[in-house]
Amino acid sequence: MQNATGKYYMITALKRKYSDRLPTTVLIGPYCSRFAGYSVREILTDAQKSAEAHLAFYDRFKPDSLIVYNDIYLETEAMGCELEFPEDQISHPKKVLLENKAHLAKLDVPNPKKDGRLPYFLEVCERVSSQVRKEATMGLGHSGPWNLAMHLRGAESLLLDTIDDPEFVHELMQFTTNVVQAVGDALIEARFQPSIGEAYATCSLISPQIYKDFIKPYHIQLCDYFKSKGAFMSLHICGETDPIMEDIIDTGIAFFSLDAPSSLKRLLEAVAGKIPVMGNVPTTLFSSGTYEEMESAIRHCIDTAAEGSGYILASGCEIPLDSTEDRVAHFFEYSHQYGREFMIKMREQNPERFQD
């Protein structure tokens, strides 16, 4: 469609309408540093450089939605955790803050406008949004309460705590939920929508019962809280989520981002048209896949999910740092090509569903 913007394609899909192709994007992460000539360390510590890198990626590939989610340790750092910043790798904590559970009482909910690099994150979002908001939608990511609990306590200790000291886990989860609310409030004030990532809520790591007992109640709390603020919450969970899909939908989230190890078909059955979904293209294809493998994955996602709209084609998770420019370019080129072919068929079958 001539002169259609990425924002147009995104909004059309969210309205469950059809257009001439599907909206398409990827979860970028620090990979965007390559397009501005900066190191990963530079874009994780300098808001202007990070914004330049995101915008350079946008100028190169023109995704329909530009997603900003650089560092999963922003909130943990703002609470006092010391991080290491390798030159060309993502940051990581030097040690966990809650080796001693009693230290939880000493932690404060950080101020997103003052503490750590949270002001940096808000500045990146503002700088990027000011340049792309007329053409594309913005997707933002910040850590969910289970992610933060894992960062503060450590994965092995927290999982043992769910057995040995569930009361502490709930106390910690309520604290981290308060942190997510504070960050979400700052984003809403800046006219963005909260979108949380829960890498450690994958069923590759936890049991479905842990999600039901220790995570779901706080996701429900967050959804209700943000709705009371006139906002909606999106959710991304890495890895395997098939056993908890119904529970995820029950939380009241407004949008779900699905990683490649999970079944897109099963998610659509669980969603039953209630909310939009995105994702499911394997991230390994952006660094080591063949063009044929990429095309097959794209066709599978479109053939599975595009009918009925409400679907955004995207990488299942953050594309790797060693992704190659030609593979990323081929993803967008073939997605647009096949997406248009698919929509020609849909127009013949359902002309009333098209947004003209």
89-117 confidence digits (pLDDT tens): 889 999 999 999 999 999 999 999 999 99
Per-residue pLDDT band for 121 (boundaries 50, 70, 90) equals very high
Tell me the average pLDDT of the chain: 94
Among 102, 206, 222, 110, residue whose Cα is nearest residue 158: 206
- What is the CATH number for 240? 3.20.20.210
Contacts of 269 (CB under 8 A, 6+ apart): none
Domain presence at residue 9: no
319-349 confidence digits (pLDDT tens): 999 999 999 999 999 999 999 999 888 777 7
Domain presence at residue 49: no
What Rg value do the Cα atoms of the chain yield, rounded?
20
Domain presence at residue 16: no
In the predicted structure, residue 352 carries a pLDDT above the cut 70: no
Match 């599975």 to its residue by tokens. Answer: 304
Per-residue pLDDT band for 1 (boundaries 50, 70, 90) equals low
For the chain, percent of residues with pLDDT exceeding 90: 86
134-179 confidence digits (pLDDT tens): 999 988 889 999 999 999 999 999 999 999 999 999 999 999 999 9
pTM of the predicted structure, to 2 decimals: 0.94
In the predicted model, what is the mean pLDDT of residues 236-244?
97
Question: What SS3 class is residue 255?
Answer: strand
Which spans in 239-290 are helix H? Answer: 245-250, 264-271
In angstroms, the CA 42 to CA 64 distance is 26
Helix, strand, coil share (%) of the chain residues, nearest 5? 55, 10, 35
**DSSP state for residue 93 in the 8-state scheme:** E
Tally of structural domains, the chain: 1
Residue 274: domain span = 23-32+97-121+141-351
| Amino acid occupying residue 73 | Y
Domain presence at residue 130: no
Domain presence at residue 58: no
Give the model's pLDDT for residue 139: 86
**DSSP state for residue 201 in the 8-state scheme:** G
Q: What's the distance, CA 20 to chain centroid?
A: 26
For the chain, percent of residues with pLDDT exceeding 70: 98
Residues in the chain: 356
In angstroms, the CA 72 to CA 76 distance is 8
Domain presence at residue 244: yes
Domain presence at residue 249: yes
Domain presence at residue 317: yes
